[in-house]
Amino acid sequence: MTINERNIAKYTAIRNEKAKIILANTADDGREGRVFELDCARPASHKTCVSKQGQIDVSIKMEINGKIKYVPAECKTNGGRIDDLLTGKNKSAFVIYRLQFTQKHKATKTAPAREEKRLVPAVVVPTDLFLQMLTECNAIKAVAHNGVQDGLAIQPSSKKMYERLTAYIENYGECVLFDRERTYADFDFEGLEI
């Protein structure tokens, strides 16, 4: 086993252990997002904990004009907070977003109650485009604690946003699906501002 393989095994084990601890805290509504952030770390990454608000979550490997660069990316799931992305405090060039949501429909006179599962696999979206999608789809909601608004988050139940993300995948194909080991190319996002 090489030194690099030992490091990968070491940091993967630490991340897995941290994920178990995070998931065990059932009082934390954002635990799935925290685990997703750890899962997005590249195998050789030394990342072993969740980033603080305003810090870069992970980086994606990208070939830009023939040179390999590590580009900062923000990990978001379902109704994650987006304050820092909107204000520009977070300088991530991309958002890695995964939607896994169950929409509950109440019973009516003509139809019984039902649940609709919405799933969009993790996709890589340029930050400006992601924020534009949220705005166009009216998928930004205020977050309040004790009746006081203290931030903004993604509205996960937005059908328009679900349709927009699905169309994004259909238009750009598998090149926009997130794979932590992949080297993306600038032409994967051709026509988009990076």
**Residue 120 has which token pair?**
């969009």
Report the distance separating Cα 126 and Cα 53, nearest Å.
19
Name the residue type at position 73.
A
Residue 106 has pLDDT above 80, yes or no: yes
In this prediction, residue 193 carries a pLDDT of: 53
In this prediction, residue 2 carries a pLDDT of: 82
The residue ranking higher by pLDDT, 145 or 124, is 124
**Which of 83, 81, 97 minimizes the C-alpha distance to 36?**
97
What residues does each domain of the chain span?
1-50, 53-186
pLDDT in tens, 176-189: 999 999 999 888 87
Alpha helices in 72-194 (DSSP H): 83-87, 127-136, 159-172
9, containing H or E segment: helix 3-24
In this prediction, residue 147 carries a pLDDT of: 83
Q: What is the pTM of this model?
A: 0.85
Task: For residue 100, list its beta bridge partners.
Answer: 119
Residue 191 has pLDDT above 70, yes or no: no
Report the distance separating Cα 100 and Cα 118, nearest Å.
6
**If you average pLDDT over every residue of the chain, what do you get?**
85
- Average of pLDDT values for 120-132? 92
Residue 68 has pLDDT above 90, yes or no: yes
In this prediction, residue 167 carries a pLDDT of: 92
Report the distance separating Cα 5 and Cα 62, nearest Å.
22
